[in-house]
Copies of this chain bind each other. A is one copy, B any other.
């Protein structure tokens, strides 16, 4: 057999992400992906079962990268507020440095395609945040509400903030990022 080009899988992933961000999920076809990845359309089927499989694997892959980038080296010794702030900053840091990944995740997450992925496989990005919230609730630093609500008020505004940075409505800088973090904190603190 021929040696398997390790890059080919990655090329296909990258081509797919770029296309989805440029022309949208709806317009992204296998042949367009193939052309962009500079492989034959049929080659994609050597690496993936079908289009759905490709998109799912891509989604799970990017999610995993995000989670690792944001919560790797999570310092357990930090104070609650420091850890919280740290996470949000790392999130912004990652998304700013990986616009394509972020926008892809956003678009995919809002499409009905997502529902077909086995929930078990989805690594929740905020998983490590959740224990932080639980801890904070026990210490009565955070409000005694559903942990999910704490997550919502932490991540949703931040994500929208980044999106508006990307579409030009806003420009993220140290000052307004500080404010956003402060507002999230105010929302969830007891």
Contact = CB atoms under 8 A, between A and B. Distances in A.
B179 A183 contact: no
A22 B152 contact: no
A24 B107 CA distance: 12
Nearest to A155: B160
Interface string A92-120: 00000000000000110111110100000
Interface stretch (A61-69, A80-88, A140-148): A140-148
A95 B167 CA distance: 26
Interface in A153-190: 153, 156-157, 159-161, 164, 167, 169-170, 176, 179-180, 183-184, 186-189
A25 interface: yes
A165 B171 CA distance: 32
Nearest to A108: B110
A176 B187 CA distance: 14
A152 B146 CA distance: 21
Contact of A24 (B109, B112, B148, B160): B112
- Interface on chain A toward B: helix, strand, loop, or mixed SS? helix
Chain A, interface size category, equals 35 or more
Contacts of A46: none
A21 B112 contact: yes
B187 A183 contact: yes
Interface of A: 21-26, 106-107, 109-113, 115, 143, 145-146, 148-149, 152-153, 156-157, 159-161, 164, 167, 169-170, 176, 179-180, 183-184, 186-189
